[in-house]
Structure 1
Amino acid sequence: MEDRRHSSRHATELQLEVYDLHSAQRLGRVVDLSADGFMLFSESPLATDSVWECRIVSATPVEGVSEVRLGADCLWSRPGADGQHSWAGFHIIDLAEDQAASLDVLLRHI
């Protein structure tokens, strides 16, 4: 598979959970993160080509940052080996300037 990422992704030791901004539904846990996107481990499959307004929430605030709000497009989704979980890759498509600064703070700490 061709890797088209502009930024390298970094596995995180921070506990980052992703929630739908409107319904507060938990989408999953961030496995890796970059300035361009992220990969999630989720309890339920997410639809490919779906667009989400999300909150990435840090269990522990980092330099005063506890969440980042952004828009993301689910580029792919695959079932996990156990058949009960799934993996999904997202591309960040909408990120306000103040939220980009917050994302940079998180990226510096992973």
Structure 2
Amino acid sequence: MLVPAARDLRIALAAYADAVIRDERCPTPASARAREDATFTLCVMTGTRDPREAVARTDAWLAGKDVSVGGYAATTADIALIGQAVSDDPGAVAPAA
């Protein structure tokens, strides 16, 4: 399983939290769809099917705890290595390891 970069996990978690809050405050078809999209994204990124498990796994990864995903134990070190290869400049090329 590919382990998402910490930055991407934080963005997905924030988008999920925002979508849940908006949908809880003022439910509309658009807010429900946004919540479904954010839930799907976070679940796919964490290899889960349940949003509560996705949030727990994201929190664990960001806290540096080992998390087993499909037989692969992902750690913060994995996330950090991937994060080093990710640049805010889309035109930049990551150095070879």
TM-score by length of 1: 0.25
The higher-RCO structure (CA 8 Å, 6+ apart) is 2
The structure in which a higher percent of residues are strand is 1
The higher radius of gyration belongs to 2
The structure in which a higher percent of residues are helix is 2
TM-score by length of 2: 0.27
